[in-house]
Amino acid sequence: MSMDVYISAEEIEARVKDMAQEITQWIGDDEVLCVANLKGSFMFFADLIRHLRSQKVKVDFIATESYVGTQNSGQVRILKDLQHTCRGEKLLVVEDIVDTGLTLSKVLDHFLTMHCPSEMKVATLLDKPSRRRVEMKADFVGFTIEDAFVVGYGLDYNEYYRNLPYIGILRNTEER
């Protein structure tokens, strides 16, 4: 396998700071529960919430599963739900990547049904609209990318490469 740097650490840092400013404006003086979809979003989530300029930010985590290797299985399972309730509060769902939209669609439906936020928005580091299988649009987008298998900055290939400080395109995987 080989890897090409697709989005540098410096580009990511600058865009995350800009996104945090946009999200801070949306939060205003309200309370917000920021939810990371584990595992892929953990680096983006940590950097993003660190730059939010609000004192009324709570954090929580949800865990889902939909990928096997480089392939989206089409089946989305919620492995871990929220510990906090966000009934009547703003909810920010933080994703690493919106690809087919299946995972995010399931998560948003779950939150609307089970947690009843007053308002819900989605922040994603990466958006890959060419692979969309359900109508889905994030409210805050870091980068719109081509149809390539990307790793790094939290995203993985079979649990590897999450620790890279940049986004790379993984080439020559046996499954592609």
User: Where in the sequence numbering do the catalytic residues fall?
Assistant: 99
Contact 161, 149 (CB under 8 A): no
The pair of structure tokens assigned to 109 is 């439906």
CA distance 40 to 120: 20
The pair of structure tokens assigned to 142 is 């870091």
Where are the alpha helices (H) located in 38-176, listed in sequence order? 42-50, 102-114
Contact 41, 145 (CB under 8 A): no
CA dihedral 36, 122, 50, 41 (to 10 degrees): 40
At 49, which amino acid appears? Answer: I
Question: Is residue 113 classed as helix, strand or coil in its secondary structure?
Answer: helix
